[in-house]
């Protein structure tokens, strides 16, 4: 895997993305903001942001060789010109999840919840990047980021509602769904 990339998501007056909505799915919401700046790289000091979330890309935990190859062959990258809609979904999982052994988490994540199998159905329309932030002492454990074209927004809604009804989501105790658009 390439070197981890540190990414800061800052809600405030500036940024490429217009915040269309901030919805608390589980737990409390984040403060309202007009725009979202996505800043790649180490230091980011946006003076006026109303909130800032930081994470980093990392090595894969769950995908086996076959799954990793399959995902790689179907996924598209970020910044496609037609992908003018995005979602930032910060997620925290419960203490019970983190107390499990890795094989138990994999069992819930894929064998019981089919996270990768379900997600793959939505490729290549939905582009994604997963950021880990538990190790940074951040409020959330993951910052999940998705980009798609307006015509694929209904499919994205379908995807999130399917994932939220899986056994994996019983271990999610904080989730905020932030929807974005850009010109």
Binding residues for ligand HEM (CB under 6 A): 60-63, 71, 89, 91, 93, 115-116, 119-120, 122-123, 126, 128, 130, 142, 144, 159-160, 163
Nearer to ligand HEM, 37 or 126 (CB): 126
Closest Cα partner for 88 from 158, 19, 28?
19
Contact 53, 92 (CB under 8 A): no
CB of 128 to ligand HEM, least distance (A): 5
User: Which residues make Cβ contacts (< 8 Å) with residue 173, sequence separation at least 6?
Assistant: 26, 27, 92, 93, 94
- DSSP letter at 14? -
Q: What residue number has its CB nearest to ligand HEM?
A: 119
**87 φ, ψ (degrees, to nearest 5):** -135, 135
Nearer to ligand HEM, 9 or 122 (CB): 122
CB of 123 to ligand HEM, least distance (A): 6
Nearer to ligand HEM, 31 or 61 (CB): 61
């Amino acid at each position: 895997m390439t070197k981890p990339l540190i990414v800061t998501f800052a809600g405030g007056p500036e940024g490429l993305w217009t915040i269309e909505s901030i919805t608390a799915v589980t737990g409390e919401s984040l403060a309202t903001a007009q725009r979202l700046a996505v800043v790649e790289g180490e230091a980011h000091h946006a003076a006026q942001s109303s909130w800032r979330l930081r994470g980093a890309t990392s090595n894969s935990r769950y995908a086996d060789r076959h799954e990793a190859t399959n995902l790689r062959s179907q996924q598209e990258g970020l910044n496609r010109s037609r992908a003018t809609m995005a979602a930032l979904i910060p997620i925290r999982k419960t203490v019970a999840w983190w107390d499990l052994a890795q094989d138990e988490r994999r069992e819930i994540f894929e064998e019981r919840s089919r996270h990768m199998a379900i997600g793959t159905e939505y490729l290549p329309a939905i582009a994604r990047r997963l950021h880990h932030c538990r190790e940074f002492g951040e409020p959330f454990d993951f910052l999940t980021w998705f980009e798609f074209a307006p015509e694929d927004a209904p499919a994205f809604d379908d995807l999130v509602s399917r994932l939220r009804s899986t056994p994996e989501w019983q271990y999610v105790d904080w989730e905020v769904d932030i929807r974005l658009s850009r010109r």
